[in-house]
Amino acid sequence: MRSTKDRIRQALSFEIIGLIIVTPLFAWLFSHPMEQTGVLALMGATGATLWNYLFNLGFDHALRAWRGHTTKTLPLRILHAVLFEITLMILLLPIFAWWMGISLFQAFLIDIAFAGFYMAYAFIFTWGYDLLFPPETATTST
């Protein structure tokens, strides 16, 4: 399993790179000022960073209890990305609606678009991170 220091590096790297990509994209796609989307993205990234740490810790503990190790197969990586994004959407939806002054339904539609982006991004990022910084107990990753 990963150390606390490694998990913090992983979570912060994920969020910083994600912010660099998503803030201008969000402002352009949804015609909102960059300042408004930047603050929203920062609030979302802060919540997502905390959730990322807790979710990954829980997921790894569940994997170890279930399989005896934390190596992720392709189906487990897909499950990991989907579960993370669904739970994060539930946590962030009211904040998106409040900050942007839109209905929960409108926020839900926007949230779905970005959940799709972040789901793919999470899949690619965590796979790449595992290749660059292999977990101590992982021998190979497929």
Task: Tell me what the pLDDT averaged over the chain comes to.
Answer: 87
Q: What average pLDDT score do residues 97-122 get? A: 87
Those residues whose C-beta lies under 8 Å from the C-beta of residue 17, and which sit 6 or more positions away, are 125
Structure-block tokens of residue 127? 């796979």
pLDDT of residue 138: 55
- Summarised one tens digit per residue, pLDDT across range 92-102 is 899 889 988 99
112 band by pLDDT with thresholds 50, 70 and 90 = confident
How does DSSP classify residue 112?
H
- The three-state secondary structure class of 45 is helix
Residues 16-75: tens digit of each pLDDT: 898 899 899 988 988 889 888 888 888 888 888 899 889 999 999 999 999 988 888 899
Q: Give yes or no for a contact between 94 and 109, defined as CB atoms under 8 angstroms apart.
A: no
